[in-house]
Structure 1
Amino acid sequence: MQRILLFLLTNVLVVAVLGVTANLLGLRGYLQANGLHLGMLLGFAFLMGFGGAIFSLLISKPMAKWTAGVRIIDQPSNATEAWLVQTVHELAERAGIGRPEVGVFDGAPNAFATGAFKNSALVAVSTGLLESMNADEVRAVLGHEIAHVANGDMVTMTLIQGVMNTFVVFLSRAIGYAVDAFLRRGDDRGHGPGIGYLLTTVVLDIVLGFAAAIVVAWFSRHREFRADAGSAALLGQTRPMIAALDRLRSLHAAPLPRSLAALGIHGGMSQLFATHPPLEERIAALRNLRPGDSALRLD
């Protein structure tokens, strides 16, 4: 809940900074003279940035279950499922969070964690991962996912995405109005935004959206290193996580559906838009890990 409040406060502060900056630069009078009410635009940017991101966070669990075809293990039907549930619950207790729901989905080796709250998250693994890894490696992967939950990574990712959305919405429309006013200077026949505004807004939504995606992807890569270190802290050693990542490298694990790509143990994109660092870099980081490097705090 604290992270949700932080998320709301951050977006409010971003909108406030945008408003103050617009006033200091003298943009309020210029934009309002050309038909744009700055306060309404700031409110719209806030609703689109915060509202859309928080809504996606709140529905993240049911959407993940639906898109990945996750089967929740309410009553284990075999020894593997019983071990899986027990291991997740043990790791969650060690990390100081509530017991997540545990699920299995069909597919190539992968796993993910999601949910708006630490104490009611979802941890799911694929049948391919269970079939291709030994118990120590699966346990390390589960530790990685539990570390994501304990670190509040889902909420933090949503916060960053919301802030980026707010900037994109505000800047694209403010610049769109300015461009439209320039193109229609001296024209008294029309009121409201014209074709210049529409075209500029569409183009900037795309361009600034790509720029925002780069920022979000950078943080996503950073949190993977933290979750790897968190798994090592939960297990008390780095060897199982290194072995799991090395196994993934040899298996060429397939990515999750696009809506879940940033949540998985392994991603499929590369370079600027990659949600996950190369497996080689993650293994090297674990080998260089020193005591106390993990962001996960264990009691």
Structure 2
Amino acid sequence: MNRDWQKLKKSSNQIPTNESLLPYILEVLKNGEEVTNQVVIKRVNEFLKIPESISAIKYPKYPDSEGILTNRFSFALSTLYKAKAIERPNRGIYKITEEGLSLLNQFGENLTKKIVEQQPSYKEYMEELAVRNERSGNRLILKNDSKTINNEVEALITTQNNEVAIELLDKVRLVEPYFFEKLVVDLLVSMGYSGENGEAKVTSRTNDGGIDGIINQDPLGTSTVYIQAKRYKESNTVSRPDIQSFYGALAGVNADRGVFITTSKFSIGAQEFAKNQGIVLIDGIKLTELMMQYSVGIEEAKVYKQFRINNDYFEENT
């Protein structure tokens, strides 16, 4: 493995490119430790003997921002995360995965962005991001006028939030089944389904009869929503028999409304049966859209203010 930063591909300002950092991030994580991004950067700098003078270079227009190299590490970490070569067990913490070890062993210092982007996990990530952007009506238009610039800013923020939603869904898929059931009940309560003085609960961990959660929307329980929650892997599609089984569970409690929530997706047959029986389906993408909309499992990172002239104020002068 090369240990000389001078041999890396560099931009005109002699700073290593995002792509050139990819194999070395995996190299310093290959022992399986969970470390912060700052530790990753420090270890790669030491491994390649990147001088402080290079790390200290800032964007000319943004002298108070992080260094250019630090920014490039962020992009490289993001690329590896999209390919599931690394994972984030906690905020700002990184760990190599089996996929990452495989890429490192197979390609070593010759690992490129093109190779990473060819990985099935990376393609799946980008496909899901495209679906989320399409659902949210998100697109970028590159024109130099104020209205379009505002649209571009909104599109960039939406794309970033959609990337957060993908990471959120990955995290939800890793929780314990009972916690997932609690999560979906919390979500529906946040959406207002428990009603005033209503009650929401997760059913027993065993012998729940196919019902994972119950929401009584009024104190007398005359309006009740029954929930089934399935924490499935991305590739495990919920099929028609799954919905038929849930329909049978609803019939067993004389219920006329039910919500089936999964972290994966539904087959066409499942969607058709649910529609005919009045069962609401929420797939993984819709689940995280709702979690973000109703602030379940997320928090606000930063708020940007946009100002405009208050013309009403100046009307007093006429």
TM-score normalized by the length of structure 1: 0.29
Structure with the larger RCO, 1 or 2 (CA within 8 Å, 6+ apart): 1
Of structures 1 and 2, the larger Rg is shown by 2
TM-score normalized by the length of structure 2: 0.27
Per residue, is there more helix in 1 or in 2?
1
